Chain A
Amino acid sequence: MPGLTWGSPMASEVNADFDAIVVGSGISGGWAAKELCERGLKVLLVERGRKVTHREDYVTEGKGNWELPYRGQIPEQEVERDYAVQKDCYAFTDFTKHFFVNDREHPYATPDDKPFAWIRGYQLGGRSILWHRQCYRWSDLDFEANANDGHGVDWPIRYKDIAPWYDHVETFAGISGSFEGLPQLPDGKFQPPFPMNCVEQEINKRLESSYSDRKLIIGRAAHLTAPTDEQLALGRGRCMNRNECQRGCSFGAYFSSLSATLPAAERTGNLTTVTDAIVTGVNFDAASNRATGVNVIDANSKDGRSYSGRMVFLCASTLGSTQILLNSTSEQFPNGLANSSGTLGQCLMDHLDRPAAAGIFPGFLDKYASSRRASGCYVPRFRNVNEKDERFLRGFGYQGAASRQSWKQGTATPGVGAEMKTALRRPGPWTLSLTGFGEMLPDTRNRVWLDEKRKDQWGIPILQIDCQHRENELAMLEAIEADAVEMMEAVGMTNIKSGFKAFAPGLGIHEMGTARMGRDPQSSVLNEHNQAHDVPNLFVTDGACMTSSACQNPSLTYMALTARAAAGAVEMLREGSI
C-alpha cells in the first residue's frame, strides 16, 4: 500500500503541483500546514511515520497501571534490544512507547565517548504528542546574547519581531500561565494559570524574602484552562489534570498537532497529508535557483516517488531537517542544499538538563492537594540577568513541583509489616525537587554530518553526531546544583539531596541549531524569514534554525517562528518574489 493519503484534493490528485510542501507534522510542521492552508495555499504535508488518529489511537489513555501486563514497565530485553536510546527519556514507559522510535530501525552514530541521545517520535503529530507542554517566551536577553558575548552569530531578529507571533500562537494553542512582569521571561496571552499548592506558595514567599531576583512561579503550559470558542469549535476541551498527556488526550486539552493545528488546516479544504513517506531530499533546479519539490521513499514498500511544489517548508525536527538538507546534493551544492556557507550541521545545542536537588519541606502535614496537575512550577533565570556572573556565560532556570510522598518512600526507608503498611497508607512529608535547564553555547565543534558509508534500511546515509558539554556548560552545571541546594536551605528545607548526574546532551530533548538563522549568508543558512539565503523558496522553521539556545523550552519559539515564516512566505509568493 502506498502511503496513506487523505484530505483534499483526493488521493488520485496527489501528483498535482502543490503551492507548498511541508515536511514533518510535529509542532513545527503542524503550524506550517495550518498557516499556509489558512492563507489559501494548497499544501501537501509529508510525514515519515504512521497515521495516528486523534482519540482512536490513544490506546493506553486513561488506563490504570494494573490494566497493563507489567503495570507500565516494558520487558527489559525488549528495552535493550529496541530502545537503547529512547529508554533514557523520562517519559518512556509501556504507556507511551508506541509514540517513540525503535532505535534499532533508526540508527545514527556518535563517538564512543560522546553519547548524544536523539529522542524521537516518528508519526503523524511527531513529538507534539509526547511533549511536556512547557511554553516560555524568549526575550532580548536571549536574542542579543550572541551579539553581546561573541559566541555564535547574531540573531537576525529581536523580541519585537517575534512578539506579535508569540501572541498569535499562544492565542490559538492555549497557554495557561501567570502574569509576572519579568523582563527576562515576557508574559504572554495566557489562559488562567493552574494554582500553585500551599507549599509551593510558601516556598515562593520565602524565596522572595531571601532573594530579590528569584521566585517560584507556576509553569506556563499548553493546556486549556478556559477554552476559547475557536478551541471548542476544534473539539478541544478543558484540562482534567490527569497529567498523563504523553499517552494522548481525547479532551484535546493540551496542544498537539493532532488536537489543534492539523484539524485547523484540514477544515480549510486545502490540506493533503501523506504518511509513511520518508523525505530523502529536496529537489533543486539550478537554472531557476529554486527548490522544485521533494523525493520520498515509502516507509513500507520502499518505493521511491517525488512531489513537486512551489515552495518547501522543512519541519522534520532539528536533526531531521538538517539530515535532509545534507542529503540533497547537486553540482551547485555538493555539501548539502543551501550550504554555500559551509555552516550546515554546525552548532548543535541542547539544554543542560540536570536534576539539581531534592529535599523535604517540613510542616503543612494537615494540607494536601489533588493527586495530579498538568504542569509543575518554574524558577525563571536569575544568573547573568542583572549582574554578570564570573563563572559562566548565559543562564538557566529550574522546573519542579512540591508534592507529598506516597508509597515509593517505602522503598527508601526501613520498615516491614503492618507498621510499614499503615504508615504508607498516609501521605508522607512534602518534598520539592528542582531540575535545571541551562543554556548551551553555539559551538562549531558540536556538529553533525552524514556517514556516506553507513545507510539505514531506506538507503539514507545515517547521521553522525558529535556533541558534548564544554567548559561553559560544565561550570554552569555546577552552579545549577549549588544554587538549588542554597535556595532549598534558604527556604528551610531539610534532607536535601544533590549530586545527581547531569544528563548526556540530547536528553534535554531541546536539540537546536545546525541550520542557523543569521544576517550574513557567509556564516548562516537562513535569513530573518527562515528562508534559505541560497534558495529563496526553501524555508526551515523547526529547531534547526536556532542561532542560540536560551534556557527556556524552545517549542513555543518554533511555533512563533514557523507562523511568522509562513506569513512571510505567502506574501513573497503573492508578490512573485519566490
Chain B
Amino acid sequence: MRDDRNLLTRRKAIQGAASLLGGAIAATQLSTFMSRAASAAAAGEPPAFFDADQFALIERIVDVMIPETATPGAHAIGVHHFVDLMLAEWASPERQARYVRGLEQLDTELKRPDGESFVDLAPEEQLDVLRAVDAAAYADNAGDTFFVELKKMVLFSFYSSEIGATEELQYEALPGPYKHCMSVDEDVRAWFDLGFTYGL
C-alpha cells in the first residue's frame, strides 16, 4: 500500500486560495474555513480560559510533547489554542478546577532542580524534564495523575485535527469494500481511530 495517498485537504485548498490572493486573505474569511483554534493561533489571540502563565506552560508542553518533525507539530496547528477552547467551552467546572490545580503543580514538578522554570529552559532540556515527568506518571504506583489527563487532551487535540487525522495519520472518508489483509511496509501510516469515545 502506498503511504502518500493524501487527498487534497481543505487546508491545502485554503493555502492555495490564500496564495492566489497574494496571501492577503482576511482572518475572518479564513476562520470560516479553518477551525476556530487554528484561526485563533493564526491571529495570535489571547487565551479564553488560561491565564498568560498557564497558557505559556501549555504552549511549551504541546510543542515539546508533539514537536515538528518531517510533519507539522502540535504547536504549528494550534493545539494549545484548541486545549484552551476545550477548557473554556467544553470542560465542566470540576475539570476546569482540576486543570488550574494540576497546572500549578505540574509547573513545580517541571522546574529544574535549581528552580529554573520549564518555559525558560532550552528545548532539549525541556524534553528531558518532560520525559522524566511522563515516566513517573506511568510508573506502576502513580495512580491517576493530572499529567496523563493533560497528555490525553493534547494527543486528542492533535490527532483529531484535520492535519492530525489526514496527514499525520490516514483517514478514509469512504472506505468502500473492506480490505481484510493488506501487506504493508514499515512506513505505513496508522488510520485515524474513529472511535465513539476518546477517554478524556
**With A and B bound together, what is the CA distance between A424 and B130 in angstroms?**
18
Determine whether A386 belongs to the interface, using a CB cutoff of 8 Å to chain B.
Answer: no
Determine whether A235 belongs to the interface, using a CB cutoff of 8 Å to chain B.
Answer: no
B134-A90 in contact (CB<8A)? no
Other-chain residue from B67, B86, B194, B196 in contact with A91 (beta carbon distance below 8 A): B196
Output the nearest chain B residue to A200 by Cβ-Cβ distance.
Answer: B180
Query: In the complex, what residues of A have CB within 8 A of residue B193's CB?
Result: 405-408
Output the nearest chain B residue to A371 by Cβ-Cβ distance.
Answer: B191
A416-B160 in contact (CB<8A)? no
A406-B179 in contact (CB<8A)? no
A66-B67 in contact (CB<8A)? no
Could you list 27 A-B pairs, sorted by A, with CB under 8 Å? A64-B162, A66-B160, A71-B157, A73-B90, A75-B90, A76-B91, A197-B181, A367-B184, A368-B184, A368-B188, A369-B179, A370-B175, A372-B191, A406-B159, A407-B164, A407-B169, A407-B190, A408-B199, A411-B152, A414-B134, A415-B134, A416-B127, A424-B190, A425-B169, A425-B189, A425-B190, A427-B189
Determine whether A418 belongs to the interface, using a CB cutoff of 8 Å to chain B.
Answer: yes
Q: How many residues of B contact A (CB 8 A)?
A: 70
Determine whether A417 belongs to the interface, using a CB cutoff of 8 Å to chain B.
Answer: yes
B155-A411 in contact (CB<8A)? yes
**With A and B bound together, what is the CA distance between A127 and B107 in angstroms?**
48
**With A and B bound together, what is the CA distance between A381 and B156 in angstroms?**
37
Known: A69-B36, A76-B90, A415-B134. A371 touches B69 (CB 8 A): no
**With A and B bound together, what is the CA distance between A272 and B91 in angstroms?**
45
Other-chain residue from A92, A196, A244, A404 in contact with B194 (beta carbon distance below 8 A): A244
Least CB distance, A176 to chain B, in whole angstroms: 11
B171-A64 in contact (CB<8A)? yes
Q: Mark A96-114, 1 if CB is under 8 A from B, else 0.
A: 0000000000000000000
Determine whether A263 belongs to the interface, using a CB cutoff of 8 Å to chain B.
Answer: no
Output the nearest chain A residue to B65 by Cβ-Cβ distance.
Answer: A416
**Beyond A244-B194, A366-B185, A417-B130, 5 additional pairs, beta carbon < 8 A:** A241-B177, A405-B190, A408-B195, A408-B199, A411-B152
**Of listed A66, A197, A240, A410, residue having the most chain B CB within 10 A:** A66
Determine whether A413 belongs to the interface, using a CB cutoff of 8 Å to chain B.
Answer: yes
**Of listed B35, B91, B185, B193, residue having the most chain A CB within 10 A:** B193
A80-B92 in contact (CB<8A)? yes
Determine whether A519 belongs to the interface, using a CB cutoff of 8 Å to chain B.
Answer: no
Q: Mark A424-466, 1 if CB is under 8 A from B, else 0.
A: 1111100000000000000000000000000000000000000
Least CB distance, A121 to chain B, in whole angstroms: 16
**With A and B bound together, what is the CA distance between A260 and B198 in angstroms?**
33
Interface residues of A (CB under 8 A from B): 62, 64-66, 69-77, 80, 90-93, 194-198, 240-244, 366-373, 404-408, 410-411, 413-418, 420-422, 424-428
Known: A75-B89, A408-B193, A414-B138. A370 touches B199 (CB 8 A): no
Determine whether B186 belongs to the interface, using a CB cutoff of 8 Å to chain A.
Answer: yes
Query: In the complex, what residues of B have CB within 8 A of residue A71's CB?
Result: 156-157, 160-161
**Of listed A90, A371, A413, residue having the most chain B CB within 10 A:** A371
Output the nearest chain B residue to A425 by Cβ-Cβ distance.
Answer: B189
Output the nearest chain A residue to B82 by Cβ-Cβ distance.
Answer: A71
Determine whether B135 belongs to the interface, using a CB cutoff of 8 Å to chain A.
Answer: yes
B165-A66 in contact (CB<8A)? yes
Least CB distance, B160 to chain A, in whole angstroms: 4
B67-A367 in contact (CB<8A)? no
Known: A368-B188, A411-B148. A70 touches B194 (CB 8 A): no
**With A and B bound together, what is the CA distance between A73 and B177 in angstroms?**
29
Other-chain residue from B1, B64, B179, B197 in contact with A416 (beta carbon distance below 8 A): B64
**With A and B bound together, what is the CA distance between A76 and B99 in angstroms?**
15
B192-A62 in contact (CB<8A)? no
Query: In the complex, what residues of B have CB within 8 A of residue A69's CB?
Result: 36, 89
B182-A368 in contact (CB<8A)? yes
Known: A66-B162, A371-B171, A425-B189. A73 touches B131 (CB 8 A): no
Known: A65-B165, A75-B89, A368-B1. A421 touches B66 (CB 8 A): yes
**With A and B bound together, what is the CA distance between A92 and B196 in angstroms?**
8
Query: In the complex, what residues of B have CB within 8 A of residue A422's CB?
Result: 69
A369-B160 in contact (CB<8A)? no
In B26-68, the 8 Å CB interface with A consists of: 35-36, 64-67
10 closest Cβ pairs, A-B complex? A406-B193, A371-B191, A76-B92, A195-B180, A198-B181, A414-B138, A427-B190, A65-B160, A241-B175, A66-B162
Known: A371-B191, A406-B169. A366 touches B67 (CB 8 A): no
Least CB distance, A4 to chain B, in whole angstroms: 31
Query: In the complex, what residues of B have CB within 8 A of residue A66's CB?
Result: 35, 160-162, 165
Query: In the complex, what residues of A have CB within 8 A of residue B194's CB?
Result: 65, 243-244, 371-372
Determine whether B168 belongs to the interface, using a CB cutoff of 8 Å to chain A.
Answer: yes
Output the nearest chain B residue to A62 by Cβ-Cβ distance.
Answer: B173
Determine whether B141 belongs to the interface, using a CB cutoff of 8 Å to chain A.
Answer: no
**With A and B bound together, what is the CA distance between A407 and B161 in angstroms?**
13
Other-chain residue from A70, A93, A415 in contact with B89 (beta carbon distance below 8 A): A70
**With A and B bound together, what is the CA distance between A139 and B130 in angstroms?**
58
Determine whether B172 belongs to the interface, using a CB cutoff of 8 Å to chain A.
Answer: yes
Known: A71-B160, A416-B65. A241 touches B176 (CB 8 A): yes
A240-B176 in contact (CB<8A)? yes
Query: In the complex, what residues of A have CB within 8 A of residue B18's CB?
Result: none
A64-B165 in contact (CB<8A)? yes
Query: In the complex, what residues of B have CB within 8 A of residue A70's CB?
Result: 86, 89-90
Query: In the complex, what residues of A have CB within 8 A of residue B186's CB?
Result: 426
**With A and B bound together, what is the CA distance between A93 and B134 in angstroms?**
30
Least CB distance, A93 to chain B, in whole angstroms: 6
Output the nearest chain A residue to B161 by Cβ-Cβ distance.
Answer: A66
Query: In the complex, what residues of B have CB within 8 A of residue A62's CB?
Result: 173
Query: In the complex, what residues of B have CB within 8 A of residue A72's CB?
Result: 160, 198
Least CB distance, A10 to chain B, in whole angstroms: 40
**With A and B bound together, what is the CA distance between A413 and B155 in angstroms?**
12
**With A and B bound together, what is the CA distance between A372 and B170 in angstroms?**
12
A427-B67 in contact (CB<8A)? no
Other-chain residue from B36, B92, B172, B197 in contact with A372 (beta carbon distance below 8 A): B172
Determine whether B151 belongs to the interface, using a CB cutoff of 8 Å to chain A.
Answer: yes
**With A and B bound together, what is the CA distance between A91 and B127 in angstroms?**
38
Least CB distance, B53 to chain A, in whole angstroms: 21
B190-A406 in contact (CB<8A)? yes
In B123-144, the 8 Å CB interface with A consists of: 127, 130-131, 134-135, 137-138
